Amino acid sequence: MNTDRRTLLKLTAGLLLSPLARGQASFPEPPVLKSREGLLEVRLKAAPTPVTVAGREARLWTYGGSFPGPTLRVRPGDAVRLELENLLPESTNLHWHGLPIPPKVDDPFLEIPAKETWSYAFTVPRDLAGTFWYHPHLHGRVAPQLFAGLAGAIVVESPVDGIPELREAEEHLLVLKDLELASGRPAAHTPMDWINGKEGNLLLVNGASRPTLRASKATLRLRLLNASNARYYRLQLEGHPLYLIASDGGFLEEPYEVPELLLAPGERAEVLVRFQKEGAFRLLALPYDRGVHMMGGMEHMGHGGMAMGTSQRPQTLLTLVAPPRPKPLPLPKALAKLPALSPNQARVTRRITFTEDMMAGRFFINGKTFDHRRVDFRGRVGDLEVWELENQGDMDHPFHLHTHPFQVLSVNGKAFPYRALKDVVNLKAQEVVRLLVPLKDLPGKTVFHCHIVEHEDRGMMGVLEVG
Ligand SMILES: [Cu+2]
């Protein structure tokens, strides 16, 4: 380890310890690796690791020895050099989820064999800000590797963070990830998991079960990441609305107040919490029906032996404790300016259907399973495209497009309520969603797929080549 990195780790430790120094109970957050003088240089091991999770000893697969993996914190224009050392017993690779960077770098077709190391190098785009993440993307093995613990957040800082209404807020990262342990290891996938997507009985926030966050300020800025394989989080904070300030791809134009917020697998959101009174308030995951299948009418069995994930009762994710006599900051008035795109300017309209074959356990886009040798769509740099997605299945499918962030135009013909850059959009059964996709100057082969990663592994993925 060089001196710089040692210093960096010390600084990181200092940052992590500072809440304790203020006499607060600790709220666990992943370690932070922060860029310095325009450079983030990291050697990251993907390896089986003993960790304590929800108070138990477990052997997970981790990045950098922690669960979740370290948060990479960078600024627009920074150079990132990350060496991924694969100490897993199988091949892997890494996806820079949400970052508009060249497909040659963020390459889902790459295979890094066991015991080998791969170097990722890129520049963080100048106009980027927000909450992103990294996770494995090796076709066929994404679901087991992600479920085993391989995921970490990426935070791209922004000049907008400096406006008083955000600068004075207390910021935290919440990685929402469920897990199921069997003999101290991630539980193996059952045949039904490969159909429904695997959910775990442990609902974890930053690897902890029902932690408490004692706020020292009256306004919180929470960066939320759903890093789960298949679990949806319908989030509600007791006694408080949430003020959505950022979506997958960065800031909205202004805060958007919501009574609750649905986060599908892969999605991110940043919200402001404004405490008006003292007290302890639970962040709940409300029941959500995503249409999971239960073999042989399991749903009528009353108390079947299988935990099917879709809980009928609200579950507590964490408890937020407001500070004494809270006086929240005013809401920010303006955040970002997003391009006003019109479908009239689109050169191409594409149609994409999602279908399922439950008996075979296969999942299709436009009737086909994924083939890395096939190009499904060819696009042109700089073009604006309309993508019309239709879920013809019985389950929800969260659609994810790499490399080229999009805006959601409408859901079932109803205009999307705010302008935002997204890379994941959920489709409920039978739903039709229209997207505006401005193809960036990032030529190459990239992919789009369902972010229930079991469906992705089982074929619900296609190839887009932009030239
Ligand atoms: Cu799916």
State pLDDT tens for residues 158-185.
999 999 999 999 999 999 999 999 999 9
Q: Distance from the CA of 142 to the center of ligand 1, in angstroms?
A: 13
Confidence of residue 463 (pLDDT cuts 50, 70, 90): very high
The pLDDT value recorded for residue 246 is: 98
* 397 and 268 fall within a common domain: no
Q: Distance from the CA of 189 to the center of ligand 1, in angstroms?
A: 16
* 38 and 154 fall within a common domain: yes
The pLDDT value recorded for residue 304 is: 38
Cβ neighbors of 50 (< 8 A, separation 6 or more) are: 57, 58, 59
Q: Distance from the CA of 97 to the center of ligand 1, in angstroms?
A: 17
State pLDDT tens for residues 396-413.
999 999 999 999 999 999
Q: Distance from the CA of 292 to the center of ligand 1, in angstroms?
A: 10
User: What is the pLDDT of the chain when averaged over all its residues?
Assistant: 92
In what order do the strands lie in the sheet containing 117-123? Answer: 56-63, 39-53, 79-86, 117-123
Question: Total structural domains in the chain?
Answer: 3
Residue 349 one-letter amino acid: T
Q: Distance from the CA of 456 to the center of ligand 1, in angstroms?
A: 7
State pLDDT tens for residues 327-380.
999 999 999 999 999 999 999 999 999 999 988 999 999 999 999 999 999 999
Q: Distance from the CA of 402 to the center of ligand 1, in angstroms?
A: 16
* 359 and 442 fall within a common domain: yes
Q: Distance from the CA of 461 to the center of ligand 1, in angstroms?
A: 10
Of residues 22 and 148, the one with the higher pLDDT is 148
* 138 and 190 fall within a common domain: no
- DSSP one-letter string for 132-159: EEEE---TTTHHHHHHTT--EEEEE--G
Q: Where in the sequence is the domain holding 254, given as residue range(s)?
A: 164-290+306-321
Q: Distance from the CA of 196 to the center of ligand 1, in angstroms?
A: 8
* 42 and 168 fall within a common domain: no
The pLDDT value recorded for residue 55 is: 87
* 233 and 360 fall within a common domain: no
Nearest to 169 by CA among 216, 212, 225: 216
Domain end point (choices 140, 159, 178): 159
The pLDDT value recorded for residue 299 is: 43
Q: Distance from the CA of 378 to the center of ligand 1, in angstroms?
A: 23
The pLDDT value recorded for residue 1 is: 41
Of residues 381 and 13, the one with the higher pLDDT is 381
| CATH label of the domain that carries residue 355 | 2.60.40.420
Cβ neighbors of 224 (< 8 A, separation 6 or more) are: 131, 174, 176, 235, 261, 263, 268, 269, 270, 271
Q: How far apart are CA 181 and CA 234, in angstroms?
A: 24
* 136 and 177 fall within a common domain: no
* 279 and 347 fall within a common domain: no
Q: Distance from the CA of 396 to the center of ligand 1, in angstroms?
A: 6
State pLDDT tens for residues 196-248.
999 999 999 999 999 999 999 999 999 999 999 999 999 999 999 999 999 99
What phi and psi, each to the nearest 5 degrees, are found at residue 91? Answer: -65, 155
Nearest to 4 by CA among 63, 62, 81, 68: 81
Of residues 5 and 187, the one with the higher pLDDT is 187
* 64 and 202 fall within a common domain: no
| Residue 258 is assigned to a structural domain of this protein | yes
Q: Distance from the CA of 345 to the center of ligand 1, in angstroms?
A: 30
State pLDDT tens for residues 138-147.
999 999 999 9
* 153 and 169 fall within a common domain: no
State pLDDT tens for residues 302-328.
333 344 445 679 999 999 999 999 999
Q: Distance from the CA of 397 to the center of ligand 1, in angstroms?
A: 4
